[in-house]
Amino acid sequence: MASIRFDRVTKKFGEFTAVSDLDLEMGDGEFICLLGPSGCGKTTTLRMIAGLETPTSGRVHIGERDVTFMHPKDRRISMVFQDYALYPHMNLADNIAYPLKVRGESETKRHARAREVADVLKIGHLLERMPSQISGGQQQRTSLARALVYPSDVYLFDEPLSNLDAKLRLEARGFLNHLQRDMGMTAVYVTHDQAEAMALATRIAVMDAGKVVQYAPPLEVYRRPATTFVANFVGNPPMNLLPVEAMVADGNVQLKAEGLSAAPLPVSRAAARALDGNTKLTLGVRPEHLTIARGGEENTISGALFANENMGPETLVTLERDDAARFTARIFTDESLALRGTVKLGFASEHVHLFDPGGTRLPMDHESA
Amino acid sequence: MTRYLNLYFTRIGFSVLTALVGVLFALPLVWFIFAPFNPRAEMGLAIPDPFSLSNFETVFGNRFALRGLWNSLVQSVGGVILVGAGATLASYALSRSPIPGKNVITYILLLFSSVVSGSAAMVPIFLIVNGIGLIDTQIAVILVFAGGLLPTAMFILRDFIDSIPKSYEESAMVAGASPVQAFFDVALPVIRPGIVVVVVWAFVNIWGSFLIPFILLRSSEKMPAAVAIYSFYSEAGTPIVTLLAAYSLLYSLPVIILYLFVSWKFGFRFFGGIKA
């Protein structure tokens, strides 16, 4: 096991900058998720750890070794590919054992080891089959077995679950979580699925346009998204965002918008300074922090009912406001909600997020900023 | 009712028409199978009576013609090895390496190949081969064929390799394989169906060629079958049908065998281990 360090790494493809001036430390035994939309540079970052891409500038270290220009075979890494990349002309046993073959292990030894790993992954009975003769979930586990069959410093995952159907994906995710707890491996995991990142990571690096926007443990990313981009990306459904007018008086900020009634919010002194002169802010509230409001209480937002989706344990209620902005609430009830016309959603002050015009989150008073 | 009758006659008419077309194409093939065994064969189609191998006896007595078949085999196999190996390595490099302008290179090569292998280039090819001093050698024939076929072979194979995900080799290299190991263990077996197509295509091309060996070779004992077949023409230039038929059958056997072997062994197919 080893740590990984990016030292001012930039990667360009022609004119396009995939990764820009990246500084990132990944600790020994950590499970790091690189999270972001397609084209944000997360896969390029992973491939630079693997040695499948060479940085345009900057340095990459694995442990104490500078691996920037090292061939992949010498890096002591394992990687699971999005398309699995199982060799179609070899049966599963040979596929799983291939890394041992190139290490010069005898056939008996490597097949014994392949069987060991395959049994753990519950594909031991398929070792004679060819990759084209097994299901997608089994192919995924075979590629995982091939990555686990030999000891590595770092385990790399390039969207390994994105080709599975929803049910298998949950199962595989749980297994990966178990594996990480069991082995304590250093892993870097690329995904565009925020739920995977939340479930697996010890720290998430949220990336956008070649830069890391936030690098923090999952709950921190969820509780205090650094920017509106992160707020919009993490959480399902994403955080509701609403442009508001703000006025600061006596250390409190008063928010105003059509259909919004908000109690004055105490903001931190730093935030108050940042607010100075800024009257346009963005208000953010997570869907799970919204409730159906009854009377004329404070901290509510109203709009016309747009959708009312019952999911079983919860109901998604979506409002559409006059400015076409939508607000979604997750109401945790298994009863059907009879709603019509204009609906009011309520929220608590401690669940309010404020973002400055640049999209950066303002620290709130109750947070030790 | 009339509608059904109409349909009925349309079907019958169509079937008769296609049958006629089929017969038109089948007749030469039937002749090709029967005539070699008919000691009195003519241009007309006839069932051999008596069925005899005497045509083959005469052909096997013709040393020059037999030697021609052997020469064809030497030239074809030699050319195929060069084309197969060269095209595989070159197209792999063209497909996988980040050479700038590699598309331009490929298209220029394709353009050149249609010039080089054409009869238009015969004079310069002859002068070059003569200059190197390779006139009247099998090597010259093999090299000229390889040079003429390689660009198209590379073009076909590059397209094929482009369609194969890089992650095969990448996963091998991450797992500890050197680029050479990754190529031979993983890439080559996956590319094999494409190579097989190119090899068969090159073999058939060289096997049937007349002009290039005819011009580059001098001594009759080096001529391939396509040239040797003219020994079954009389001095006046009329074909001796019986012997020509027997020799033609022998001449086409290797190609047929090659097709059967390839489709039995490789099946011109492709199997996947990549989840799309």
Is the domain of A101 the same as that of A181? yes
Name every chain B residue with its beta carbon within 8 A of the beta carbon of A85. Answer: 165, 167-168, 170-171, 273-274
Beta carbons of A347 and A285 less than 8 angstroms apart: yes
Is the domain of A166 the same as that of A288? no
A112 falls in which pLDDT band (50, 70, 90)? very high
CA distance B176 to A98: 9
Quick one: pLDDT at residue B53? 86
Is the domain of A151 the same as that of A53? yes
Residue B271 pLDDT > 60: no
More confidently predicted of A165 and B116: A165
Name every chain B residue with its beta carbon within 8 A of the beta carbon of A51. Answer: 173-174
Is the domain of A282 the same as that of A306? yes
Report if residue A107 sits inside a domain. yes
Domain end call among A204, A227, A250? A227
Q: What angle do CA A195, A197, A203 make, to 5 degrees?
A: 140
Query: Tokens 């009712």 label which residue?
Result: B1
Residue B154 pLDDT > 60: yes
Helix (H) or strand (E) holding A354: strand A353-355
Quick one: pLDDT at residue A217? 96
For the segment B35-68, what is each residue's pLDDT rounded down to a tens digit? 888 888 777 777 887 888 888 888 888 888 889 9
Helix (H) or strand (E) holding A65: strand A65-66
Domains plus CATH for chain B?
Answer: 63-265 (1.10.3720.10)
CA distance A334 to B158: 58
Q: Where are the alpha helices (DSSP H) in B117-240?
A: 122-132, 138-162, 167-174, 179-182, 188-207, 211-216, 225-228
Is the domain of A82 the same as that of A132? yes
Chain B CB within 8 Å of residue A50 CB: yes
Nearest CB neighbour to B178, from listed A73, A79, A101: A73
Sheet holding A203-208, edge to edge: A77-80, A154-158, A187-191, A31-35, A203-208, A211-216
Stretch B173-191: mean pLDDT, rounded? 93
Cβ neighbours around A170 below 10 Å, total: 15
Cβ neighbours around A352 below 10 Å, total: 18
For the segment A217-250, what is each residue's pLDDT rounded down to a tens digit? 999 999 999 999 999 999 889 999 999 988 877 7
For the segment A296-340, what is each residue's pLDDT rounded down to a tens digit? 778 899 889 999 999 889 999 999 988 888 899 999 988 888 888
B182 falls in which pLDDT band (50, 70, 90)? very high
A69 falls in which pLDDT band (50, 70, 90)? very high
What CATH code is carried by the domain that includes residue A255?
A: 2.40.50.140
Residue B27 pLDDT > 80: yes
Q: Can you say whether residue A84 is alpha, beta or left, with left for phi > 0 and alpha for psi between -120 and 50 degrees?
A: left
Chain B CB within 8 Å of residue A88 CB: yes
Is the domain of A218 the same as that of A101? yes
Answer yes or no: do A102 and B177 touch at CB < 8 A: yes
Q: Which residues of B touch A (CB under 8 A)?
A: 165, 167-168, 170-178, 181, 185-186, 189-190, 271-276
Is the domain of A222 the same as that of A257? no
Q: What angle do CA B145, B150, B155 make, to 5 degrees?
A: 150
Report if residue A367 sits inside a domain. no
Among A13, A77, A89, the residue to mutate for chain B (most B Cβ within 10 A): A89
Residue A191 pLDDT > 80: yes
Q: Can you say whether residue B62 is alpha, beta or left, with left for phi > 0 and alpha for psi between -120 and 50 degrees?
A: beta
Report if residue A368 sits inside a domain. no
Answer yes or no: do B174 and A146 touch at CB < 8 A: no
B173 falls in which pLDDT band (50, 70, 90)? very high
- Dihedral angle of Cα A182, A187, A193, A196, to the nearest 10 degrees: 10
Quick one: pLDDT at residue A181? 87
Among A87, A139, A157, the residue to mutate for chain B (most B Cβ within 10 A): A87
Stretch A282-286: mean pLDDT, rounded? 93
Domain end call among A207, A227, A247? A227
Nearest CB neighbour to B176, from listed A52, A81, A99: A99
CA distance A315 to A307: 10
Stretch A269-277: mean pLDDT, rounded? 69
ipTM of this complex:
0.84
For residue A49, the chain B residue with the least C-alpha distance is: B174
Is the domain of A121 the same as that of A43? yes
Q: Which burial class, exposed, middle or buried, applies to A167 when counting CB atoms under 10 A from its CB (0-12, 13-18, 19+)?
A: exposed
Beta carbons of A274 and A300 less than 8 angstroms apart: no
- Dihedral angle of Cα A186, A191, A194, A195, to the nearest 10 degrees: -70
Is the domain of A217 the same as that of A251? no
Quick one: pLDDT at residue A369? 43
Query: Mean pLDDT, chain B, as a whole number?
Result: 87
Name every chain B residue with its beta carbon within 8 A of the beta carbon of A143. Answer: 171
Quick one: pLDDT at residue A334? 82
- Dihedral angle of Cα A216, A218, A224, A227, to the nearest 10 degrees: 70
Quick one: pLDDT at residue A256? 85
Query: Residue type at A161?
Result: L
Q: A85: closest CA among A95, A99, A75?
A: A95
Is the domain of A199 the same as that of A278? no
Shortest CA gap A51–chain B (Å): 8
Stretch A269-275: mean pLDDT, rounded? 69
Chain B CB within 8 Å of residue A162 CB: no
CA distance A288 to B133: 86
Residue A60 pLDDT > 90: yes
Residue A88 pLDDT > 80: yes
Write out the residue range of the structural domain in which residue A134 sits: 4-227
Indicate the DSSP class of residue A126.
G
Residue A169 pLDDT > 80: yes
Residue B273 pLDDT > 50: no
Domain end call among A227, A258, A279? A227
Stretch A163-188: mean pLDDT, rounded? 89
Rg (CA), chain A: 24
Is the domain of A348 the same as that of A268? yes
Quick one: pLDDT at residue A187? 93
Report if residue A166 sits inside a domain. yes
Is the domain of A66 the same as that of A141? yes
Quick one: pLDDT at residue B169? 93
Report if residue A369 sits inside a domain. no
Shortest CA gap A269–chain B (Å): 51
Locate A242 and state its tokens: 């609403």
Report if residue A77 sits inside a domain. yes
Quick one: pLDDT at residue A367? 67
Report if residue A51 sits inside a domain. yes
Q: Where are the alpha helices (DSSP H) in chain B?
A: 2-34, 54-61, 63-96, 102-116, 122-132, 138-162, 167-174, 179-182, 188-207, 211-216, 225-228, 241-265
Query: Mean pLDDT, chain A, as a whole number?
Result: 90
A211 falls in which pLDDT band (50, 70, 90)? very high
Quick one: pLDDT at residue B270? 45
Query: Residue type at B110?
Result: L
Q: What percent of chain B has pLDDT over 90?
A: 41
Report if residue A174 sits inside a domain. yes
Among B174, B181, B184, B185, the residue to mutate for chain A (most A Cβ within 10 A): B174
Nearest CB neighbour to A88, from listed B167, B172, B190: B190
Give the Å distances, CA to CA, from B29 to A27, A83, B200.
74, 48, 22
Residue B275 pLDDT > 60: no
For residue B276, the chain A residue with the least C-alpha distance is: A83
Name every chain A residue with its beta carbon within 8 A of the beta carbon of B275. Answer: 83-84, 136, 139-140, 163
CA distance B110 to B250: 33
Quick one: pLDDT at residue B269? 54
CA distance B55 to B242: 6
Beta carbons of A127 and A114 less than 8 angstroms apart: yes
Quick one: pLDDT at residue B272? 43
For the segment A9-44, what is each residue's pLDDT rounded down to a tens digit? 999 998 899 999 999 999 999 999 999 999 899 999
Q: B225: closest CA among B262, B253, B260?
A: B253
Among A102, A146, A162, A188, the residue to mutate for chain B (most B Cβ within 10 A): A102
For the segment B74-113, what is each residue's pLDDT rounded down to a tens digit? 999 999 999 999 999 999 998 988 888 888 887 887 777 7
Shortest CA gap B167–chain A (Å): 6
Quick one: pLDDT at residue B117? 59
Q: A8: closest CA among A24, A27, A32, A31?
A: A24
Residue A7 pLDDT > 90: yes
What contacts 24+ positions apart, CB below 8 Å, involve B258-261?
B258/B200, B258/B203, B258/B204, B259/B200
Residue B72 pLDDT > 50: yes
Nearest CB neighbour to A136, from listed B168, B185, B275: B275
Quick one: pLDDT at residue A278? 65
Answer yes or no: do A84 and B274 touch at CB < 8 A: yes
- Domain count of the fold of chain A: 2
Query: Tokens 């292998």 label which residue?
Result: B117
For residue A77, the chain B residue with the least C-alpha distance is: B174
Quick one: pLDDT at residue B114? 67
